[in-house]
Structure formats: C-alpha cells, structure tokens
Amino acid sequence: MEIDTKQLWRSLLENVKVSVSAPVFNTWFSQTHLVNLKKDNQRYVAEIGCNNVFVKNTIENRYFGLIQDVLSSSLELPCELLFVIKENPDQRKNGLSLTPLFEEPTVKSQEITNIARNVGLRPGFTFANFAVSSSNQMAHAAAEAVANDLSSAYNPLFVWGGVGVGKTHLMHAIGYSAIEKDQETKLYCCTGEQFTNDIVEGIRNKTTSAVRQKYRKLKALLLDDIQFIAGKEGIQEEFFHTFNALVSSGGQVILTSDRPPSEISKLEERLKSRFEAGLIVDIAPPDFELRCAITQIKAKEKGVELAMDMAQTIAGNLESARKIEGFLIKLFSEARIKNVEITPEFIESQLGKGGETNGQILKKSSPNDVISAVSKHFSLNKKSLLGASRSRPVARPRQVLMYILRIDLGLPLEEVGRIVGRDHTTVMHAVNKITHMVSSDVNIREDIRGIKNML
C-alpha cells in the first residue's frame, strides 16, 4: 500500500509538537517537509527538506534522534534520514511564510507602516524577525500572548534584561502586531524619558490636561526604560494615575527595564506593587545558538548570506546582539571598501581588530595579570591552570580565564589559545560556555566580578 507522505509528515509534526516548545516548533519544524520516502529491503530512507542551511544544520544536529524515532514508530520499520535544502512547494504555492528567521521582509502597506511610525513603533521590530531560544523563550511567549489578546493575557507585562537582549524589539513587535490586526487600535510607544518630557512640557505650557488625554485614552501604552522615572516624584505621581486609568478602562500596559521592579532604586512602592501584579519576565543574554541565528538574520537584512561556519565564528566572539550588528556593519563596509570576498580568514582578521568594541576592556591589565588573578581567585598555581588537566576544579577556571582574555581584553582567539596552550576552537567553546553560564549561574558571575575587582 502506498504511503501518503504528506499525511505521514503531518502526523510526525503533531507528535513532535508535544515534545518541544512552541517557539522551537514554529522556528524550526514548521520549515521542514518530507521530500521523498523509499523502502529499501527492511528499512525506509526518508529525505527531509529544509528551507535553508541553518534550519538543516539545527534540525539535523539537535533533533535527528527525535524525528528518526517518530518515523520508525509510525512506519514500524527502521528509518534512515537524509536532510536536504529544498523549499516546500506547497508553501510556495499557497503563498505561506517560509520562515520567521530568514524570509525576505513581507511588504506591508504604506498605510500600516506610517501608522506604526506615527505611534513610535519601528516597523522592522516584528515577531517575524525575532529569533527565539531558551534565553528568551518565556518572554517571547508572553509577548505573543499579549499581542493576541490585549489587556486580557498579562497586564501589565514587565520585560527586563541587560542591554541588547531584545526587550525593545519584543515590545515593538506587540504594538506592530496589534496595528496589523486593527489599524484603529489606539496605542503609543515611547521611552521613560519621552514620557517625562511630555509631562514637563505640559506643566510648562499649561497643557497638562491634553497630555493626560494623550496617554489615558489609549488601548495600549508601551513604555521603554521605565527605570528612567525613578526618583522623579512628580513624574511617578502622574504615571501612577495614568497606569490606573489605563488598566481600569481595559487598556494594556507594557513596560521594559534593565532590572526587575524590586531592584529599581527610588521607584515608589505603589508602582512596584502595580508592576508586580502583572507578569514579570526576564531575558537572559543570548546563548551561542541564538547569537548564530541573530548573526544570520542581521546579515540577511543587509543582503549578505553568511555560511554557518562564519556565523559561528562571529557568534563565538561577540556576546550581544548589538555588538554582532555593529561588527557586521564594519565587516561589510571593510569588504566593500577593499573589494574583497568575505571569508573565514577575513572575519577572523576583523575580529582581531575589534577588541576595542568589547564593552568591558580591562585596559591596564596584561594577560599575565589576568592569569595571576584567576590563579589567586581559584587558589590554583599557574602551572595547573595552564596545564593539561581536564578535571572540573581546573577546567572551569581555565575556561573563565579564556573568557576574560577574549571578552574583556579583546584578544584574538588564536592569541588566547597560544597563551593557554589550546587551539582556537577550544577557546571558542570555552567563551560560549562561560557566556551561557553567566546568564544563569550566580556563582560564575561572582567569580568573574571578583577577578575583575582584583585587576
């Protein structure tokens, strides 16, 4: 009996959906299809199509076993998998979106774009080009829930995190989604500084009532960097009443900050209480996989296709989305000016020059100073720290050493490898490992802070 491959793949996707998170499913599995299925004696060979090389690599490396198990169970025979880069003809035929990460930007009507700009939104900040991973999955899911049902899902929604992790992007994506669904939606997006300036101008020009009307009659207020109003008694008083008026009338409030409400000094307790009554979610610094995705997204936006190995090199050396975007601008500009092809070697050379772009350079410290500080902090002698031992009490401090040499001193990968007696791929792995741990392990953060204090 001939097998219906489309039905088989739909069944597989339903099974997979139960095993992975919604963002993971939407980001990766929605971009796959079953190209071909052949029976070879007592086994099947399945050819699985992926929309691009990044999807292929991620699915093949991370979910090979899951797909193989589900297919083998459905077919009741062993199944071998072959992954290929091939566009789904059904998606093309139906005009469906191929991928939230790497598709060409959808052409929006000029009217919607103008509305978005008029209310303070950046049209490019949408859910479609927001890369999702474990570090921002919760915040992304919460933002989508709010966008789908303003004022009913989480109100207020408070998103916090460090610089360049995507807080503003998510907030703007909610607003843009609301306008796409209903162009009549009254919303406004501004920063804490803009809100403050509006209130001050209202008082100065005796137009306070007009300012209140502007903010209190909205369906949604999106306020970026709410920590800016802390310590300003009059502004906090006005925002308190604006917040109450919006929520009581069914309006949505979305706030972002660089820290949670409980840690914003000089923020009135009544405001903290209001903020904590909704949902507070944090976004951790991007992990290695997410930085790879961001690298390819930003490169694609600039009209350049970067191979996976190049994206990995960049992601392994730069720890934030903003640094990645800044480096790509520099990289592409240098390539155009010098009229050279972008190669792994060219990327490495530009990374080597980019130490000064890393935000926390310990300018007065030498590699030997860092080695001494790490040795002292972890109570290890230098011979052990730079030796061959792979035991955890030695390997972790060595990874911290490589992280500080690379991120804070801005040394090239090869130079760090030479200092610690390792190759550049080991250094890249160590930097990625510690970068990930910094976002989730308070002990690692304290270790690095202690070492920097010594320096």
The CATH number of 288-357 is 1.10.8
In whole angstroms, give the CA distance from residue 294 to residue 270: 38
In whole angstroms, give the CA distance from residue 311 to residue 122: 26
Least Cα distance to 328 among 371, 295, 282 occurs for 295
User: Among 3.60.20.10, 1.10.540.10, 3.30.1600.10, 3.30.300.180, what is the CATH number of 5-94?
Assistant: 3.30.300.180
In whole angstroms, give the CA distance from residue 184 to residue 170: 21
- Its pTM stands at 0.57
Residue 168 is labelled as binding a ligand? yes
In whole angstroms, give the CA distance from residue 306 to residue 115: 33
CATH class of 367-454: mainly alpha
Residue 242 is labelled as binding a ligand? no
Residue 217 is labelled as binding a ligand? no
> Which CATH superfamily, name and number, covers 114-283?
P-loop containing nucleotide triphosphate hydrolases (3.40.50.300)
Other beta carbons within 10 angstroms of residue 241's beta carbon come to 12
Other beta carbons within 10 angstroms of residue 104's beta carbon come to 8
Least Cα distance to 73 among 46, 99, 98 occurs for 46
- Which tokens belong to 374? 């790490």
| DSSP at 161 | E
Residue 166 is labelled as binding a ligand? yes
Question: Is omega for the bond preceding 156 within 30 degrees of 0, making it cis?
Answer: yes
Give the pLDDT confidence of 128-151 residue by residue, as tens digits.
Answer: 778 887 778 889 889 999 998 888
115-119 long-range CB contacts below 8 Å, 24 or more apart? 115/179, 115/183, 116/175, 116/176, 116/179, 119/175, 119/179, 119/187, 119/188, 119/189
Indicate the domain borders of the chain.
5-94, 114-283, 288-357, 367-454
pLDDT tens over the chain, length 455 residues: 567 888 888 888 888 887 776 656 777 788 888 998 888 888 888 899 987 776 787 788 778 888 888 888 888 888 888 888 887 777 554 444 444 444 444 444 677 878 888 888 987 788 877 888 777 888 988 999 999 888 888 889 999 988 878 899 999 999 998 988 888 889 999 999 999 999 999 989 989 899 999 999 999 999 999 999 999 999 999 999 999 999 999 999 999 999 999 999 999 999 999 999 899 999 888 877 788 888 888 888 888 888 887 888 788 777 778 888 889 988 998 888 888 888 888 887 787 655 443 344 455 678 888 999 999 888 888 888 888 888 888 889 999 999 888 887 878 888 888 898 888 888 888 888 887 776 556 678 778 878 887 87
Taking the C-alpha atoms of 272, 274, 280 and 282 in order, what is their torsion angle to the nearest 10 degrees?
Answer: -40
